[in-house]
Chain A
Amino acid sequence: QSALTQPPSASGSPGQSVTISCTGTSSDVGGYNYVSWYQQHPGKAPKLMIFDVSKRPSGVPDRFSGSKSGNMASLTVSGLRAEDEAVYYCSSYAGSNNVLFGGGTKLTVL
């Protein structure tokens, strides 16, 4: 059980798009379409932004989108806004009732 790999930081200017990657293996990200993404602001609990690779829960803006290719999943935030500045975590089912998280990516809106 190794954590999924995310870049520690990402940044973009308001209105721009930014993509955060999440790399796993064929035993987790590549093996299942059960990748989710979470947003966490300082001092707050995580919030589900994307599930099942690309589905958005009710209330999440369509500026947030997810995709997957092979062992790598991605979260794209379009039309960046100041309130998007947060830490983003990916997660994947890893078989046998196990779940993995990525190390987190701090998104800075310049």
Chain B
Amino acid sequence: EVQLVESGGDLVQPGRSLRLSCAASGFIFGDYAMHWVRQPPGKGLEWVSGISWNGDGIGYADSVKGRFTISRDNALYLQMNSLRPEDTAFYYCAKDLTPLIGLTGFDLWGQGTLVTVSS
């Protein structure tokens, strides 16, 4: 089955770290760029970060630059440091249609994992 499954979401205190993972199945993971997109409960989508098929191309939203790090091997990861309450959201893993970041659309999404940043 073609799917993405996120894991690692949790309740964490401000300033702490968390690592999200995304496991892919049913397609050749290494052929496509991958992304993290977040959605605060009841609000809109925000692109967080993307990585090209071979890891050479990486991009971050200004809101997370310097705090979050995206990486991939046989899965996709998001290392989140210095977490803030405004980082509270569902975090979706999404597959790009192409090997490069953002040059088309995201045709496969996971179901999301909830990150709550609160003291």
Interface residues of chain A, those whose CB is within 8 Å of chain B, are 1, 3, 34, 36, 38, 40, 45-48, 50-52, 57, 87, 89, 91, 93-94, 96-104
Which B residues fall within an 8 A CB radius of A?
35, 37, 44-47, 50, 52, 57-59, 61-62, 92, 94, 97, 101-107, 109-112
Give every chain A residue within 8 A of B62 (Cβ-Cβ): 1
Report whether B111 and A45 are in contact in the complex, using a CB–CB cutoff of 8 Å: yes
Separation of A40 and B92 alpha carbons in the complex (Å): 13
Q: Which residue of B lies closest to A45 (CB)?
A: B109
Inter-chain contact B45/A57, CB cutoff 8 Å:
no
Chain A minimum-CB-distance residue to B44: A104
Q: Are A97 and B47 in contact (CB under 8 A)?
A: no
Q: Lowest 5 A-B CB distances belong to which pairs?
A: A97-B59, A51-B105, A36-B105, A93-B102, A45-B109
Given contacts A48-B105, A103-B44, 14 further A-B contacts (CB under 8 A): A34-B102, A34-B104, A36-B105, A45-B109, A46-B109, A91-B105, A93-B101, A93-B102, A94-B102, A97-B57, A98-B102, A99-B59, A102-B44, A104-B45
Q: Tell me the complex Cα distance, A78–B37, Å.
A: 29
